Amino acid sequence: MDLDDQLRRYFGSADLMALPVAALEAGLDRARVDFGLEKDPARRFALWTFLYMLDAAPDLDVAFKSDGERDAARTFMDMVDKAGEG
């Protein structure tokens, strides 16, 4: 998944700072719906990381059924936190 493509798909623009709040909320709602409907584990994880980076991801216990998926998500969260420290 290309980030700019995903931003355009859900928000109609790659520039989130230029969006009105209503458009941002509507795009997040569409992304959450797609996440809930997605069956492919890799695509689900990618959508979850996309939502996480936008501070809109569902909690791990809701988002992922398996321990392995939750562990992968925690690892991703730790990596993002460490990257933000630098």
Residue 1's closest CA among 37, 35, 36? 35
Per-residue confidence (pLDDT) for residue 2, from 0 to 100 = 86
Read off the amino acid at residue 44: R
Domain ranges of the chain: 3-85
Rg of the chain in Å (alpha carbons): 13
Q: Which phi-psi region, left, alpha or beta, contains residue 55 (left: φ > 0; alpha: ψ -120 to 50)?
A: left
| Alpha-helical regions (H) of the chain | 3-11, 21-37, 41-53, 60-63, 67-85
Angle value at C-alpha 1, between 21 and 49, nearest 5 degrees: 60
What is the rounded CA–CA span in Å between residue 32 and residue 18? 21
Read off the amino acid at residue 79: M
Q: What is the pLDDT along the chain (86 residues), one digit of tens a residue?
A: 688 999 999 999 999 999 999 999 999 999 999 999 999 999 999 999 999 999 999 999 999 999 999 999 999 999 999 998 86
